Structure 1
Amino acid sequence: MKNFRILTAALFWLALMGPAAAQILTPTHLSTALSKPIAKVGEEVELIINARIDDKWHLYASDFSDEVGPVVFTLKFKPSPAYALVGKLQAIKSHHEQDEIFKGEVAFWEKTGQMRQRIKILQPGALSIVADADYQSCTTVDGKCVPGSETLKFGPLTAIGAAAPAKAIGAMPPAAMSTTAAVAAAPTAAAPAAVQAADPASDTAAQAATAAVVPAPATSATPEATAAPAPAVASVALAADPVNKAGGLWAFALLAFTFGLAALVTPCVFPMVPMTVSLFTSGNDSRQRGIFKALVYGASIIGIYVLMGVLVSVLLGEDGPNLIATHWIPNLIFFIVFVVFGLSFLGLFEITLPHQIVNSVDAQADKGGWAGIFFMALTLVVVSFSCTAPIVGSILSMAARGERITPIVGMLGFSLAFALPFTLFAIFPSWLKSLPRSGGWLNTVKVVLGFIELMLALKFLSTADLAYHWHLLNRDVYIVLWIVLSALLGFYLLGKFRLSHDSPLDHLSVGRLLMAVLAFAFTVYLVPGLFGAPLPLLAGYLPPQSKHDFSLATAEGGAAPAMATSTAGAAARETPRFGEFLELPHNLDGYFDLEQAKRVARLQHKPIFIDFTGHACVNCRKMEATVWSDPQVLTQLRNDYVVVALYVDDKTELPQKEWYTSTHDNQIKTTLGKQNADLQITRYGINAQPYYVILDADDATSQPLVTPIAYEPDVAQFSAFLQAGSKQYRTQRVPVAAR
């Protein structure tokens, strides 16, 4: 028992502390950018410092008195005749509050922060701007504070010609740039970059990013800035699955809790509830002691399942989720596991643990005492394995596609629901009388879960099929299988057929009838999908419509109408590279190679719309089905842009002459997906999908025309983003003197 406690503590320590336990603390990570890489002599440019701050830490800002106590963020620039500072360093959207310890007002950021310093260009040439930064980061967890000092480099900044006679976009005369004006002007110009530093996987960041879209100079990092490995990455998240969001973790915990409730009404578990509760309500123990034992019993169940989550989290490691999300081996393993568990629930066979393990655990439970209560809980977990293993396996397989915390969250949600009735019925034994009697309905629940397991299994097979272009499971076959399974479930619930372990059905209960209605309603909803309907409610879980072999609209009216183009525009088209196995939704013309898209965009005089996407990206499919399908958005994409879809999880191996070593992780990038993912990380500091960037093909720095956005389900907001990008492209094309 002592060794078990030591092992448990060690596993929790590994999961929570990870490899950072023995490292020097660096809670704040700084990166730099310019408001524009090229400026005329006499113009003003903003130097941008983005800060990414570790969880539970905060970074003190520059807009409070240095006499209060904490170190104020300061920049000391090396003197240069090529530029002059304009105004003070501006802190963007810092949080102000009264500090009880320092007895004064302090300003700080959490998660992300941003500072801006305006400079005026005085001399032409290539400017390399250097400044020494001093700052302080603190945490309220244990009171630690860490001083920071590093040299920041901005640029290269190219200064050319003489100042334009008219006002340039984003520039202000030095005399007009007072401290008040700087503070007033900063939020509008800085909002996009501030949002950019936020976690792109959060809904709040996505909404803020869209709201911040204005036709102003982009604030992405320059190539020099983004070439740095870790600090340039604003977030690490697995966007192929919803569990990677903060809100998604709560939703996933609720889903796991629901699975835990479902596990309670399986034939292996439900009959054990009154049997187990009687152990705490009978005997010589007082009621208070019996309740306390029940609480320990419930806590032991939770601890056992959470320990499973910890083990999965530790074994996955940092790169585990990305590997599991896209590689064919884990996806096929999960497919097989789901099929096996589903067939087990249908009664084809029973999954059991070896009797030696069951008997050994049961013998430990018979010894009594507090250790005996723990082993009683372990006995329940082991004995109910044949019914709970498919459910637990399903949760862990879905959790493994999220962040490292998701297996722990999943097991916590499941075990809370699983342990709750044992504890509650021990506290309120009279409630046992209200429980329905065991019977054939338990096996019905088990069979329903079996059908659901088989339907979910197809998602994993589809992910591997799309990433490796096996062409095994197109959209038509996928929908047909779901229609058949859901229809069979409906007929089963109506009693039209029985499985081997079912009891005779004398009458049809109202609950069973309602479940059958839901199954048939789902079947009817799927049927139009066979004829090309988008099925938006399931867009994230079905293969994309481009993988559909037949569309009723196409069959009746011919091919989807393409937008009229001029002869010059048609001549400017190229056969899309990788177009033999990659397609864009809604019959959009587009490309899958950025360099090819740039060539076409220059000839057609259009901006580029980059769609960082993935075969396994649920939200990407939702965007295509519910937002891109809107007539206004579709028209904008067709007429105003050259669209390029960059799949970050595609496994197509490129010719060896195109391989290169990434500056981000020093790994050789050999496949199409790896190179696209590396492009997104190194150039834009983001690795979550979907992610949308608008570029001018003639801009050698590849800076976005407007602030990129992530998942944005609001059609109006997404359309406004496209409109802002197109407007900024046209604005940059107008000569300065003509503006």
Structure 2
Amino acid sequence: SFSCTGPILGGLLGSTTLAEGDVAYNLSAGMLGFGVALALPFALFAMFPAWLNTLPKSGGWMNTVKVFLGFLELALAFKFLSNADLVGNWGLFKREIFLGIWILLFVLLVLYLFGVIRFPHEGPKQKLSKTRIGVGILTAAFTIYLVLGVFNITSLKLLSGFPPPDFYSVVEKENNCPLGLNCFKDFEEGLAYAKKENKPILLDFTGWACVNCRKMEENVWSEPDIYEILNEDYVLISLYIDDRKLLPENERFDYKFESGRVKNIESIGEKWGTFQTLNFGAASQPYYVLLSPDLEVLNSSIQNADSETYRNWLQLGLKNFEELTKGELTSALP
């Protein structure tokens, strides 16, 4: 059994097709790596045929593995469908609905692993192996963990980035910002508020389908002292790069790259993605920038980071803002 080629080659070919400049090196390296990894097992078994005798023999356990992987495929399919739901603003797979579907799938998987339900293609019923029982117990524990998460008894930090964000809920929330923080999703609105309050800006380039963004929010931003800094000392502006919502007609525009290619900016995500590329030379998410209300850069940009690094980064930004306000910050920051 081998993994699907579609997600790997599709992502590789798609990203290089949309990239600017010379993409031959990245494309060649990616295709070479994929080809070598796929061919390596066959090459090794051809060189050392005796190793074939050490492989597990076929049998009923293979059906169990296939069914188990089938349930995992379904769970991941709903995960990616929920990403499309978030990006497209459909409102179909809210957090509780998504978790409910996962709970149903893993309950069925537990019942299968313990022999309660069976499928037509399976052979005669046999005694459950210790491995199957062990996997069943672990799956049951994971299912209980999901149930606790639905009722907010646990935070589901182990699954950060897989379920929809907590504010994407069937229950009405105070706002639609991570962790209930006060945030702006339009740069100009956030900038005007920062000038009014004379507070520094945390510019958060994020995405609805960005797993690492959710991990940062749920594992780093949720730290009590970091949450307090974000809530009290900064104006949070979250710009979603993959938002497919269309811009009003009067806000749409065409952007011409140096190569001469013209890109039609018609959606909110395209607008903020172009904004990030033009001003900061980056196209990845999460991507965090600290700015003063006068758009002075307060610290070097940062991406994924642990809690201590992120805390120190925020505090240095506050210190630089204070010095800038007093007229003591004279050197340009990277």
TM range (shorter): 0.7 to 0.9
Q: For 1:313-328, list aligned pairs within 5 A.
A: 316=14, 318-319=16-17
**Given the alignment of the two structures, is residue 586 of structure 1 paired with residue 179 of structure 2, yes or no?**
yes
2-structure distance, mates of 1:315, 1:731? 47
> What corresponds to 1:542 in structure 2?
163
Name the SS of the counterpart of 2:167 in structure 1: helix
> What corresponds to 1:226 in structure 2?
none
C-alpha displacement of 1:311: 7.6
**Given the alignment of the two structures, is residue 499 of structure 1 paired with residue 119 of structure 2, yes or no?**
yes
**Given the alignment of the two structures, is residue 641 of structure 1 paired with residue 237 of structure 2, yes or no?**
no
C-alpha displacement of 1:654: 1.0
Name the SS of the counterpart of 1:489 in structure 2: helix
What TM-score, normalized by structure 1, do the two folds share? 0.40
Q: For 1:132-171, list aligned pairs within 5 A.
A: none
The code of the aligned residue for 2:316 comes to A
Find 2:98's aligned residue among 466, 478, 483.
478
2-structure distance, mates of 1:505, 1:594? 62
Q: Does the C-alpha gap of structure 1 residues 529 and 548 become closer, same or farther in structure 2, counting only changes over 3 Å?
A: farther
> What corresponds to 1:658 in structure 2?
251
The code of the aligned residue for 1:426 comes to P
Q: Does the C-alpha gap of structure 1 residues 321 and 470 become closer, same or farther in structure 2, counting only changes over 3 Å?
A: farther
**Given the alignment of the two structures, is residue 423 of structure 1 paired with residue 55 of structure 2, yes or no?**
no
Q: For 1:70-85, list aligned pairs within 5 A.
A: none
Kindly provide the CA deviation profile for residues 359-405 of structure 1, in whole angstroms up to 9, marking residues without a partner as x: xxxxxxxxxxxxxxxxxxxxxxxxxxxxxxxxxxxxxxxxxxxx745
> What corresponds to 2:68 in structure 1?
448
> What corresponds to 2:292 in structure 1?
696
Kindly provide the CA deviation profile for residues 312-343 of structure 1, in whole angstroms up to 9, marking residues without a partner as x: 68864723599xxxxxxxxxxxxxxxxxxxxx
1-structure distance, mates of 2:234, 2:206? 17
Q: For 1:43-122, list aligned pairs within 5 A.
A: none
2-structure distance, mates of 1:732, 1:538? 40
**Given the alignment of the two structures, is residue 621 of structure 1 paired with residue 214 of structure 2, yes or no?**
yes
2-structure distance, mates of 1:735, 1:628? 30
> Which structure has the greater CA radius of gyration?
1
Q: Does the C-alpha gap of structure 1 residues 522 and 423 become closer, same or farther in structure 2, counting only changes over 3 Å?
A: farther
Kindly provide the CA deviation profile for residues 414-435 of structure 1, in whole angstroms up to 9, marking residues without a partner as x: 4434x2674366245xx63x65
Q: Which runs of 5+ in 1 are unaligned?
A: 1-258, 264-304, 323-402, 560-578
Name the SS of the counterpart of 1:668 in structure 2: strand
C-alpha displacement of 1:663: 5.1
2-structure distance, mates of 1:639, 1:479? 32
Tell me, yes or no, if the aligned pair for 1:606 and 1:641 is still in contact at 8 Å.
Answer: yes
| % same residue | 36
Q: Does the C-alpha gap of structure 1 residues 487 and 310 become closer, same or farther in structure 2, counting only changes over 3 Å?
A: closer
Q: Does the C-alpha gap of structure 1 residues 317 and 694 become closer, same or farther in structure 2, counting only changes over 3 Å?
A: closer
Runs of 4+ in 1 over 4 A off after TM superposition: 308-315, 403-408, 434-437
C-alpha displacement of 1:655: 1.1
Tell me, yes or no, if the aligned pair for 2:12 and 2:30 is still in contact at 8 Å.
Answer: no
Name the SS of the counterpart of 1:318 in structure 2: helix
C-alpha displacement of 1:710: 0.8
Tell me, yes or no, if the aligned pair for 1:651 and 1:671 is still in contact at 8 Å.
Answer: yes
2-structure distance, mates of 1:471, 1:443? 37
C-alpha displacement of 1:549: 2.8
Kindly provide the CA deviation profile for residues 489-509 of structure 1, in whole angstroms up to 9, marking residues without a partner as x: 121111111101112222111
C-alpha displacement of 1:477: 1.3
2-structure distance, mates of 1:436, 1:310? 28
> What corresponds to 1:523 in structure 2?
143
Q: Does the C-alpha gap of structure 1 residues 309 and 520 become closer, same or farther in structure 2, counting only changes over 3 Å?
A: closer
What TM-score, normalized by structure 2, do the two folds share? 0.85
The code of the aligned residue for 2:283 comes to N
> What corresponds to 1:605 in structure 2?
198
> What corresponds to 2:77 in structure 1?
457
**Given the alignment of the two structures, is residue 630 of structure 1 paired with residue 328 of structure 2, yes or no?**
no
Name the SS of the counterpart of 1:688 in structure 2: coil
Tell me, yes or no, if the aligned pair for 2:184 and 2:237 is still in contact at 8 Å.
Answer: yes
C-alpha displacement of 1:660: 2.6
Tell me, yes or no, if the aligned pair for 1:652 and 1:672 is still in contact at 8 Å.
Answer: yes
Tell me, yes or no, if the aligned pair for 2:160 and 2:218 is still in contact at 8 Å.
Answer: yes
2-structure distance, mates of 1:309, 1:643? 33
The code of the aligned residue for 1:585 comes to P
The code of the aligned residue for 2:282 comes to I
**Given the alignment of the two structures, is residue 683 of structure 1 paired with residue 287 of structure 2, yes or no?**
no
User: Alpha carbon RMSD of aligned pairs, Å?
Assistant: 3.0
The code of the aligned residue for 1:423 comes to A
**Given the alignment of the two structures, is residue 671 of structure 1 paired with residue 267 of structure 2, yes or no?**
yes
The code of the aligned residue for 2:196 comes to L
Name the SS of the counterpart of 1:661 in structure 2: strand
Kindly provide the CA deviation profile for residues 708-733 of structure 1, in whole angstroms up to 9, marking residues without a partner as x: 11111x11111111111111111111
2-structure distance, mates of 1:595, 1:542? 30
The code of the aligned residue for 2:33 comes to V
Name the SS of the counterpart of 1:626 in structure 2: helix
Aligned residues: 319
> What corresponds to 1:514 in structure 2?
134
Tell me, yes or no, if the aligned pair for 1:310 and 1:408 is still in contact at 8 Å.
Answer: no
Q: Does the C-alpha gap of structure 1 residues 410 and 648 become closer, same or farther in structure 2, counting only changes over 3 Å?
A: same
2-structure distance, mates of 1:314, 1:644? 31
C-alpha displacement of 1:635: 0.2
The code of the aligned residue for 2:123 comes to S
